[in-house]
Amino acid sequence: METLMQKPTANIDFLTQEPAEHYHAQSKHYLGSHALADFRRSPLLYHRKKAGFIQDEDRPAYLVGRAAHVLILEGRAAFEEQFAIGGPVNPKTGSLYGSRTKAFADWATAQGKPVLTDDQLILVQEMHAGIHRNAYASELLATGQAEGVVRAEYCGLPCQIRLDWFNPQVGIVDLKTCDDLTWFEPDARRYGYIHQLAFYRSVLQLVTPQFVSVFLIAVEKKEPFRCGVWRIGDDILGIAKCENEQAMARIKQCQSHDCWPTGYEEMRSFDSL
């Protein structure tokens, strides 16, 4: 197996820690990778989200993904602190109330934090185990810091990033959950993961002189919970960086003219199957 730890351990004092809620609340003042992705998709979408007209949708799958991130990256203690498990017991049957019952809803509200059903807990634990069956993933996550925050001015805009994991010997490590690892690479293109990671590295390099590599870890949310690791090439990161910076220049133009196109104003040609 190729060893990934080829550089001496670097200083990570440039990373700060803060609750996720505080970080996300700062998005009204700072440009993050998700907002930049919205702008690349449609300037109008970006603008309406910034104005508060569109709220990000929350789904059960997102809850499981967040829980998996905490367990895998921050450990069991942080996981148990941030999530409640189980539910109320029906005294007539001795079994838990169903997750769609009023009794469960009342109990969940009383916990004051997100609740995972027993089935969701098993799923998260299986993903955790899948990560550690991959030697490269285990090596990358053996050393480092989770959820480190950096803020800096980039291309004339105040920006912020929150890294899933920073390994001081190799660099940025991003964790994704997916339905099927077979299709992860096209999904990564579809969801703009490379642009996200290029943005992370660009902002990071504004506060530290060290050159960092970039890795993606992906784990399935179903059997057999396969885990894969990708090192992202510098060439493709460079292309994504240029496209990010072009989009950021357009953000400033849209701001100065208060003009937010959909991105579909021009006639298009549909000439291939």
Q: Is the dihedral of CA 259, 58, 192, 26 positive or negative?
A: positive
Give residue 3's pLDDT. Answer: 65
Residue 136 above 70 pLDDT?
yes
Residue 146 above 80 pLDDT?
yes
Calculate the alpha carbon distances from 237 to 1, 188, 192, 194, 220 in Å: 25, 13, 11, 7, 24
Residue 9 above 70 pLDDT?
no
CA distance 146 to 166: 7
Where do we find the tokens 């569109």? 54
Strand-pair partners of 228: 218
Tell me whether the omega of the peptide bond preceding residue 158 falls within 30 degrees of 0, making it cis. no
Residue 90 pLDDT grade (very low, low, confident, very high; cuts 50, 70, 90)? confident
Residues in the chain: 273
Give residue 86's pLDDT. Answer: 83
Least confident of 55-64, 131-140, 258-267: 55-64
Q: What is the SS3 assignment for 79? A: helix
Residue 51 above 80 pLDDT?
yes
Residue 141 above 80 pLDDT?
yes
Give residue 98's pLDDT. Answer: 82
Residue 186 above 80 pLDDT?
yes
* Crossing angle of helices 193-204 and 33-41, rounded to 10°: 130
Residues 6+ apart with CB under 8 A from 254: 43, 47, 260, 261
Element (H, E) at 118: helix 118-132
Instruction: Tell me what the mean pLDDT of segment 227-241 comes to.
Output: 98
As a whole number, the mean pLDDT across the chain is 93
Domain with CATH 3.90.320.10 in the chain: 14-54+135-262
In the CATH scheme, what architecture does the domain 14-54+135-262 have? Alpha-Beta Complex (3.90)
Give residue 42's pLDDT. Answer: 97
Residue 15 tokens read as 């990373």
Give residue 216's pLDDT. Answer: 98
Q: Is the dihedral of CA 189, 190, 192, 197 positive or negative?
A: negative
pLDDT cut 90: percent of the chain above it? 79
Residue 108 pLDDT grade (very low, low, confident, very high; cuts 50, 70, 90)? confident
Give residue 107's pLDDT. Answer: 87
Give residue 203's pLDDT. Answer: 97
CB 245 within 8 A of CB 261: no
Please give the sequence-ordered ranges of beta strands (E in DSSP) within the chain, or none if there are none.
Answer: 84-85, 115-116, 145-154, 157-167, 171-178, 213-220, 227-231
